[in-house]
Amino acid sequence: MSVFTGAGVAIVTPFHEDFSINYEAFAELIEYQIANSTDAIIVMGTTGESATTSIEEHIEAIRFCVKTVNGRVPVVAGTGSNATDTAIHLSVEAEKCGADGLLIVSPYYNKATQNGLYQHFKKIADSVKLPIILYNVPSRTGCNILPETVVRLCTEVENIVGVKEASGNISQITKLFALAEGRVDVYSGNDDQIVPILALGGKGVISVLSNVAPKQTHDICQLYFDGKTAESAALQLKAIPLVDALFCEVNPIPVKKGVALMGIEAGPLRMPLSEIEPAHEEMLKKAMTEFGCEIKA
Protein backbone atom coordinates (compact mmCIF):
# COMPACT_ATOMS: atom_id res chain seq x y z
CA MET A 1 0.00 0.00 0.00
CA SER A 2 1.30 3.46 -0.92
CA VAL A 3 2.41 5.84 1.82
CA PHE A 4 -0.02 8.31 0.25
CA THR A 5 -1.65 9.21 -3.05
CA GLY A 6 -2.25 12.71 -4.34
CA ALA A 7 -0.45 15.93 -3.43
CA GLY A 8 1.91 15.92 -0.48
CA VAL A 9 3.30 19.28 0.55
CA ALA A 10 7.06 19.65 0.96
CA ILE A 11 6.41 22.05 3.80
CA VAL A 12 8.56 25.06 4.65
CA THR A 13 9.92 25.55 8.16
CA PRO A 14 9.00 28.95 9.64
CA PHE A 15 11.69 30.69 11.68
CA HIS A 16 11.71 33.52 14.17
CA GLU A 17 13.95 36.50 13.47
CA ASP A 18 16.62 34.86 15.66
CA PHE A 19 16.44 31.82 13.31
CA SER A 20 14.91 29.49 15.88
CA ILE A 21 11.94 27.45 14.62
CA ASN A 22 8.64 29.32 14.94
CA TYR A 23 6.39 26.49 16.10
CA GLU A 24 3.31 28.71 16.38
CA ALA A 25 3.57 29.67 12.70
CA PHE A 26 4.46 26.07 11.83
CA ALA A 27 1.23 24.87 13.45
CA GLU A 28 -0.73 27.55 11.57
CA LEU A 29 0.75 26.42 8.27
CA ILE A 30 0.03 22.75 9.02
CA GLU A 31 -3.59 23.57 9.85
CA TYR A 32 -3.90 25.62 6.65
CA GLN A 33 -2.60 22.69 4.64
CA ILE A 34 -4.97 20.16 6.18
CA ALA A 35 -7.95 22.51 5.83
CA ASN A 36 -7.16 22.87 2.12
CA SER A 37 -7.04 19.18 1.19
CA THR A 38 -3.32 18.41 1.36
CA ASP A 39 -2.95 14.63 1.08
CA ALA A 40 0.28 14.34 3.09
CA ILE A 41 2.86 16.52 4.81
CA ILE A 42 6.54 16.02 4.06
CA VAL A 43 8.52 17.63 6.86
CA MET A 44 12.23 18.48 6.99
CA GLY A 45 12.94 18.05 3.31
CA THR A 46 14.88 20.43 1.08
CA THR A 47 12.04 22.96 1.17
CA GLY A 48 12.08 22.76 4.97
CA GLU A 49 15.72 23.93 5.04
CA SER A 50 16.85 20.67 6.58
CA ALA A 51 20.40 21.30 5.38
CA THR A 52 20.82 24.14 7.89
CA THR A 53 19.04 22.64 10.89
CA SER A 54 20.84 20.79 13.64
CA ILE A 55 20.07 17.13 14.28
CA GLU A 56 18.21 18.13 17.45
CA GLU A 57 16.10 20.72 15.60
CA HIS A 58 15.48 18.27 12.77
CA ILE A 59 14.08 15.63 15.11
CA GLU A 60 12.04 18.12 17.14
CA ALA A 61 10.46 19.54 13.98
CA ILE A 62 9.40 16.03 12.94
CA ARG A 63 8.04 15.31 16.41
CA PHE A 64 6.07 18.58 16.44
CA CYS A 65 4.63 17.97 12.97
CA VAL A 66 3.50 14.44 13.82
CA LYS A 67 1.90 15.63 17.06
CA THR A 68 0.14 18.58 15.38
CA VAL A 69 -1.15 16.53 12.45
CA ASN A 70 -2.39 13.89 14.90
CA GLY A 71 -3.13 11.24 12.29
CA ARG A 72 -5.28 13.41 10.03
CA VAL A 73 -2.97 12.92 7.02
CA PRO A 74 0.24 10.92 6.62
CA VAL A 75 3.46 12.59 7.75
CA VAL A 76 6.58 11.71 5.77
CA ALA A 77 9.85 12.74 7.41
CA GLY A 78 12.90 13.75 5.43
CA THR A 79 15.79 11.87 7.04
CA GLY A 80 18.42 11.69 4.32
CA SER A 81 22.09 12.57 4.68
CA ASN A 82 25.33 12.07 2.79
CA ALA A 83 26.54 10.15 5.86
CA THR A 84 24.79 6.79 6.13
CA ASP A 85 25.08 6.67 9.92
CA THR A 86 23.48 10.12 10.24
CA ALA A 87 20.61 9.08 7.97
CA ILE A 88 20.10 5.97 10.09
CA HIS A 89 20.02 8.03 13.29
CA LEU A 90 17.49 10.49 11.86
CA SER A 91 15.37 7.65 10.46
CA VAL A 92 15.26 5.75 13.74
CA GLU A 93 14.31 8.93 15.61
CA ALA A 94 11.60 9.79 13.06
CA GLU A 95 10.11 6.33 13.55
CA LYS A 96 10.10 6.92 17.32
CA CYS A 97 8.33 10.25 16.70
CA GLY A 98 5.50 8.44 14.91
CA ALA A 99 6.14 9.41 11.30
CA ASP A 100 4.21 7.39 8.71
CA GLY A 101 7.05 7.17 6.21
CA LEU A 102 10.50 8.46 5.35
CA LEU A 103 11.84 10.44 2.39
CA ILE A 104 15.55 9.79 1.92
CA VAL A 105 17.59 11.82 -0.53
CA SER A 106 20.56 10.40 -2.41
CA PRO A 107 23.94 11.20 -0.83
CA TYR A 108 25.19 14.64 -1.84
CA TYR A 109 28.73 15.98 -2.33
CA ASN A 110 30.53 12.67 -1.70
CA LYS A 111 27.95 10.96 -3.98
CA ALA A 112 28.22 7.19 -4.58
CA THR A 113 28.30 4.52 -7.25
CA GLN A 114 25.04 2.74 -8.05
CA ASN A 115 26.19 -0.16 -5.87
CA GLY A 116 27.09 2.29 -3.12
CA LEU A 117 23.61 3.81 -3.38
CA TYR A 118 22.07 0.36 -3.06
CA GLN A 119 24.10 -0.41 0.07
CA HIS A 120 23.41 3.06 1.55
CA PHE A 121 19.65 2.85 1.16
CA LYS A 122 19.46 -0.82 2.18
CA LYS A 123 21.37 -0.19 5.40
CA ILE A 124 19.03 2.67 6.30
CA ALA A 125 15.96 0.58 5.45
CA ASP A 126 17.22 -2.30 7.58
CA SER A 127 17.35 0.02 10.61
CA VAL A 128 13.60 0.85 10.57
CA LYS A 129 10.23 -0.65 9.74
CA LEU A 130 8.74 2.47 8.14
CA PRO A 131 8.10 2.61 4.38
CA ILE A 132 10.77 4.58 2.55
CA ILE A 133 10.47 6.83 -0.50
CA LEU A 134 13.79 7.45 -2.23
CA TYR A 135 14.47 11.01 -3.39
CA ASN A 136 16.27 11.48 -6.69
CA VAL A 137 17.27 15.11 -7.30
CA PRO A 138 20.60 15.08 -9.17
CA SER A 139 20.54 18.84 -9.81
CA ARG A 140 21.04 19.36 -6.07
CA THR A 141 23.02 16.27 -5.09
CA GLY A 142 25.19 15.59 -8.13
CA CYS A 143 24.06 11.97 -7.83
CA ASN A 144 21.52 10.26 -10.08
CA ILE A 145 19.70 7.14 -8.86
CA LEU A 146 19.30 5.19 -12.09
CA PRO A 147 16.01 3.39 -12.84
CA GLU A 148 17.66 -0.01 -12.51
CA THR A 149 18.84 0.85 -8.98
CA VAL A 150 15.42 2.17 -7.93
CA VAL A 151 13.72 -0.99 -9.18
CA ARG A 152 16.33 -3.22 -7.51
CA LEU A 153 15.84 -1.46 -4.18
CA CYS A 154 12.04 -1.56 -4.35
CA THR A 155 12.13 -5.23 -5.37
CA GLU A 156 14.75 -6.53 -2.93
CA VAL A 157 14.18 -4.33 0.15
CA GLU A 158 10.72 -4.80 1.62
CA ASN A 159 10.20 -1.34 3.09
CA ILE A 160 11.61 0.69 0.19
CA VAL A 161 8.43 1.35 -1.71
CA GLY A 162 8.89 4.29 -4.05
CA VAL A 163 10.76 7.30 -5.33
CA LYS A 164 10.30 11.04 -5.56
CA GLU A 165 11.59 11.66 -9.06
CA ALA A 166 12.96 15.19 -9.45
CA SER A 167 15.50 14.55 -12.19
CA GLY A 168 13.25 16.34 -14.66
CA ASN A 169 14.31 13.72 -17.21
CA ILE A 170 11.03 12.37 -18.53
CA SER A 171 12.83 9.75 -20.63
CA GLN A 172 14.54 8.38 -17.52
CA ILE A 173 11.23 8.42 -15.64
CA THR A 174 9.48 6.59 -18.50
CA LYS A 175 12.20 3.94 -18.42
CA LEU A 176 11.68 3.61 -14.66
CA PHE A 177 7.98 2.86 -15.16
CA ALA A 178 8.79 0.36 -17.89
CA LEU A 179 11.27 -1.52 -15.68
CA ALA A 180 9.18 -1.27 -12.51
CA GLU A 181 6.10 -3.08 -13.80
CA GLY A 182 4.05 -1.63 -10.96
CA ARG A 183 6.55 -2.37 -8.19
CA VAL A 184 7.57 1.25 -7.56
CA ASP A 185 5.39 4.10 -6.27
CA VAL A 186 6.54 7.09 -8.28
CA TYR A 187 5.89 10.66 -7.14
CA SER A 188 6.65 13.69 -9.25
CA GLY A 189 9.29 15.87 -7.63
CA ASN A 190 8.62 18.69 -10.06
CA ASP A 191 5.39 20.67 -9.99
CA ASP A 192 5.41 21.15 -13.77
CA GLN A 193 5.39 17.37 -14.38
CA ILE A 194 2.53 16.18 -12.18
CA VAL A 195 0.14 15.16 -14.94
CA PRO A 196 2.79 13.54 -17.20
CA ILE A 197 3.93 11.34 -14.29
CA LEU A 198 0.34 10.52 -13.29
CA ALA A 199 -0.28 9.51 -16.90
CA LEU A 200 2.57 7.01 -16.69
CA GLY A 201 1.11 5.52 -13.51
CA GLY A 202 2.43 7.85 -10.80
CA LYS A 203 0.93 8.08 -7.32
CA GLY A 204 1.06 11.87 -7.00
CA VAL A 205 3.47 14.68 -6.25
CA ILE A 206 5.69 15.86 -3.42
CA SER A 207 5.09 19.51 -4.01
CA VAL A 208 6.56 22.95 -3.40
CA LEU A 209 3.52 24.51 -5.09
CA SER A 210 1.26 23.01 -2.41
CA ASN A 211 2.68 25.42 0.18
CA VAL A 212 0.78 28.28 -1.44
CA ALA A 213 -1.85 26.39 -3.47
CA PRO A 214 -2.69 23.18 -1.61
CA LYS A 215 -6.26 22.82 -2.86
CA GLN A 216 -5.35 23.39 -6.51
CA THR A 217 -2.42 20.96 -6.34
CA HIS A 218 -4.63 18.33 -4.69
CA ASP A 219 -7.20 18.95 -7.41
CA ILE A 220 -4.68 18.36 -10.22
CA CYS A 221 -4.19 14.87 -8.83
CA GLN A 222 -7.78 14.15 -7.82
CA LEU A 223 -9.21 15.24 -11.16
CA TYR A 224 -6.81 12.88 -12.87
CA PHE A 225 -7.72 10.01 -10.53
CA ASP A 226 -11.40 10.73 -11.19
CA GLY A 227 -10.88 10.31 -14.92
CA LYS A 228 -11.19 14.03 -15.66
CA THR A 229 -7.86 14.15 -17.46
CA ALA A 230 -8.60 17.24 -19.55
CA GLU A 231 -9.56 19.25 -16.46
CA SER A 232 -6.48 17.97 -14.62
CA ALA A 233 -4.21 18.93 -17.51
CA ALA A 234 -5.82 22.36 -17.80
CA LEU A 235 -5.19 23.07 -14.13
CA GLN A 236 -1.60 21.81 -14.48
CA LEU A 237 -1.03 24.22 -17.37
CA LYS A 238 -2.65 27.10 -15.51
CA ALA A 239 -0.18 26.51 -12.66
CA ILE A 240 2.92 26.84 -14.85
CA PRO A 241 3.46 30.62 -14.39
CA LEU A 242 3.28 30.19 -10.61
CA VAL A 243 5.57 27.15 -10.70
CA ASP A 244 8.06 29.20 -12.72
CA ALA A 245 7.84 32.03 -10.17
CA LEU A 246 8.38 29.60 -7.29
CA PHE A 247 11.64 28.51 -8.91
CA CYS A 248 12.86 31.87 -10.20
CA GLU A 249 15.47 31.63 -7.43
CA VAL A 250 16.73 28.55 -5.64
CA ASN A 251 14.07 26.72 -3.61
CA PRO A 252 12.88 27.54 -0.93
CA ILE A 253 13.63 31.27 -1.34
CA PRO A 254 10.51 32.13 -3.40
CA VAL A 255 8.08 29.74 -1.70
CA LYS A 256 8.97 30.99 1.75
CA LYS A 257 8.16 34.51 0.56
CA GLY A 258 4.94 33.13 -0.91
CA VAL A 259 3.90 31.72 2.47
CA ALA A 260 4.63 35.11 4.04
CA LEU A 261 2.50 36.81 1.38
CA MET A 262 -0.41 34.61 2.51
CA GLY A 263 -0.09 36.12 5.98
CA ILE A 264 1.75 33.27 7.73
CA GLU A 265 4.96 34.31 9.47
CA ALA A 266 7.46 32.21 7.54
CA GLY A 267 10.35 34.30 8.81
CA PRO A 268 13.87 34.59 7.42
CA LEU A 269 15.96 32.07 5.51
CA ARG A 270 19.04 30.58 7.06
CA MET A 271 22.28 31.40 5.31
CA PRO A 272 23.64 30.77 2.78
CA LEU A 273 20.15 31.35 1.36
CA SER A 274 19.32 35.02 0.86
CA GLU A 275 16.05 36.95 0.64
CA ILE A 276 14.21 37.10 -2.69
CA GLU A 277 15.03 39.93 -5.11
CA PRO A 278 12.31 42.64 -5.22
CA ALA A 279 11.54 42.08 -8.92
CA HIS A 280 11.10 38.38 -8.31
CA GLU A 281 8.83 39.06 -5.35
CA GLU A 282 6.55 41.13 -7.59
CA MET A 283 6.53 38.37 -10.20
CA LEU A 284 5.64 35.85 -7.49
CA LYS A 285 2.87 38.02 -6.09
CA LYS A 286 1.37 38.46 -9.58
CA ALA A 287 1.51 34.73 -10.32
CA MET A 288 -0.05 33.83 -6.96
CA THR A 289 -2.88 36.30 -7.50
CA GLU A 290 -3.60 35.00 -10.99
CA PHE A 291 -3.68 31.39 -9.74
CA GLY A 292 -6.18 32.28 -7.02
CA CYS A 293 -3.88 32.29 -3.98
CA GLU A 294 -5.00 34.55 -1.17
CA ILE A 295 -2.57 37.43 -0.66
CA LYS A 296 -2.72 39.09 2.76
CA ALA A 297 0.69 40.69 3.20
Hey, which bits of 68-173 come out as E strands? 75-78, 101-105, 132-136, 160-165
Q: Tell me, yes or no, if 108 is annotated catalytic.
A: no
Q: Which long-range contacts (CB under 8 A, 24 or more apart) does 152-157 make?
A: 152/118, 153/118, 153/121, 153/122, 153/125, 154/180, 154/183, 154/184, 155/183, 156/122, 157/121, 157/122, 157/125, 157/126
The upper half-sphere exposure of residue 176, i.e. CA atoms within 13 Å in the direction of its Cβ, equals: 31
Whether 228 is catalytic is: no
Distance between CA atoms of residues 38 and 74, nearest Å: 10
**Of 118, 164, 224, 256, which is the active-site residue?**
164
Phi/psi class of residue 181: alpha, beta or left (left: φ > 0; alpha: ψ in -120 to 50)? left
CA–CA separation, 232 and 172 (whole Å)? 23
Active-site choice (118, 135, 187, 224): 135
**Secondary-structure breakdown of the chain: helix, strand, coil percentages, each rounded to the nearest 5:** 50, 15, 40
- The residues carrying an active-site annotation are 135, 164
